Structure 1
Amino acid sequence: MLFELIQTLVIASLLAWSGLVVARKLAPGWLLRAQGRLAAGLLAPGRGLVARRLGLLVMPKIAAQGGCGSGGCGPCQGCAPAPSKDPQEILRVKL
């Protein structure tokens, strides 16, 4: 009986993990919004210390670091420096 319970828990956790991986690949925007809503609910005023710490763990990384072009790593995985705002740098053409 204990073996069947452990087997069920292992299989359920593997299925949940694979579902999360698929959701990150196929619907990253939806997953980030859902993750943000969950974090906002956990970080709401009046929540306990454990809920608030869990909210900080669940908060999407893009909310903490900024998006593409901000100089930080975003969901685009570009990790490039922020674009220059100097007009001469923008108009410079290499021949």
Structure 2
Amino acid sequence: MKSMAAITRTIGGSAVLGGLVFAVFALWALFDPAGAQMSNDADPFAAPPSTLRICLELAISLAVAVGGIWLLLRPLGDGRERRSLPNKRVTSKESQ
């Protein structure tokens, strides 16, 4: 089970790092859309992306970072504590 915890923590850390790095670039594009388009080597003189697209990219990157934080901070276990149902015995008096 420890290897699964290590994998979960690694994926969570990578998601946080990637989401925050992408959020920085999305904020940069939001404040300077023409400058962000100039760094696009494929088509540097095209129209910059719309504000809606940049805001969506920012929201998605922050959602990925929050998901990574959840993976890092959640308690790890086998999950049986959450799924188990209480054992209730039905007696003959209760069934009538």
Alignment TM-score, normalising by the size of structure 2: 0.32
Question: By percentage of residues, which structure has more helix?
Answer: 2
Report which structure shows greater RCO (CA 8 Å, sep ≥6): 2
Larger Cα-atom Rg: 2
Alignment TM-score, normalising by the size of structure 1: 0.32
